[in-house]
Structure 1
Amino acid sequence: MIGIIGILVIFVMVFGGYLAAGGKLGIILKALPFELMMIGGAAIGAFLISNDMAAVKHTAKDIGKVFKGPKWKAEDYRDLLCMLFELIRLARSNPVAIEEHVEAPDESSIFGRYPKIQSDKEAVALICDTMRSASMNYDDPHQVEEVLEKRMESTMHHALHSSHALQTMADGLPALGIVAAVLGVIKTMASIDQPPEVLGKMIGGALVGTFLGVFLAYGLVGPFAGKVKAVVEEDAQFYQLIREVLVANLYNHATNICIEVGRQNTPSHCRPSFTDLEEALKAVKQEAA
Structure 2
Amino acid sequence: MFAIIGMVVVLGAVIGGYLMEHGNLSVLFQPAEVVIIGGAALGSLLISAPLKVVIDIFKNLVGVLTGKDPEKKDYVEILMVLYDLLGMARREGVIAIESHVNAPDKSTIFSRFPSVLKNHEVRDFICDNFKTFMAAGMEPHELEALMDIDLESHHAHAMHPPHYLNRTADSLPGLGIVAAVLGIVLTMGKISEPPEVLGHSIGAALVGTFLGILACYGFLGPLAANMENKAKTKDAMLRVVRAAMIAFALGWPPPMALEAARRAIPSGERPSFEEVEEILKQARKQG
Same fold (TM over 0.5): yes
| 1:1-289 matches, cutoff 5 A | 1-29=1-29, 32-68=30-66, 70-95=68-93, 96-288=95-287
Deviations 1:52-96 (A, max 9, x none): 332222111101232345553211111111111111111121123
Distance 1:116 1:23 in 2: 49
Deviation at 1:46, TM superposition (A): 1.5
Deviation at 1:177, TM superposition (A): 0.5
The answer to whether the 8 Å contact 2:77/2:115 transfers is no
Distance 2:165 2:156 in 1: 15
AA in 1 matched with 2:57: T
* SS of structure 2 residue aligned to 1:139: coil
* SS of structure 2 residue aligned to 1:109: coil
Deviation at 1:284, TM superposition (A): 1.9
* SS of structure 2 residue aligned to 1:98: helix
Deviation at 1:274, TM superposition (A): 1.6
Deviation at 1:137, TM superposition (A): 4.7
5+ unaligned residues in a row in structure 2: which ranges?
none
Distance 1:26 1:106 in 2: 55
Deviations 1:6-38 (A, max 9, x none): 112111111211221232223222xx2110011
Deviation at 1:51, TM superposition (A): 2.4
* SS of structure 1 residue aligned to 2:101: helix
Deviation at 1:148, TM superposition (A): 0.7
Distance 1:167 1:86 in 2: 41
Deviation at 1:183, TM superposition (A): 0.5
Q: CA RMSD in A?
A: 1.6
Q: With structure 1 as the length reference, what TM-score do the two structures score?
A: 0.94
Deviations 1:142-169 (A, max 9, x none): 2211211111111111112111121011
Distance 2:124 2:11 in 1: 43
AA in 2 matched with 1:55: V
The answer to whether the 8 Å contact 1:102/1:131 transfers is yes
The answer to whether the 8 Å contact 1:70/1:235 transfers is no
Distance 2:28 2:104 in 1: 57
How much identity, in percent, do the aligned residues show?
Answer: 39
Aligned length: 286
Of stretches 59-68 and 242-251 in structure 1, the one that deviates more from structure 2 is 59-68
Distance 1:26 1:67 in 2: 28
Higher relative contact order (CA 8 A, sep 6+): 1
Cα 1:228–1:59 change in 2 (3 A) is same
* SS of structure 2 residue aligned to 1:275: helix
Of stretches 260-269 and 169-178 in structure 1, the one that deviates more from structure 2 is 260-269
Distance 1:128 1:102 in 2: 5
Deviations 1:96-152 (A, max 9, x none): 322222222222211121122123332222212222232235332222112111111
AA in 2 matched with 1:171: D
AA in 2 matched with 1:17: G
Runs of 4+ with >3 A deviation: 68-71
Q: With structure 2 as the length reference, what TM-score do the two structures score?
A: 0.94
AA in 1 matched with 2:209: T
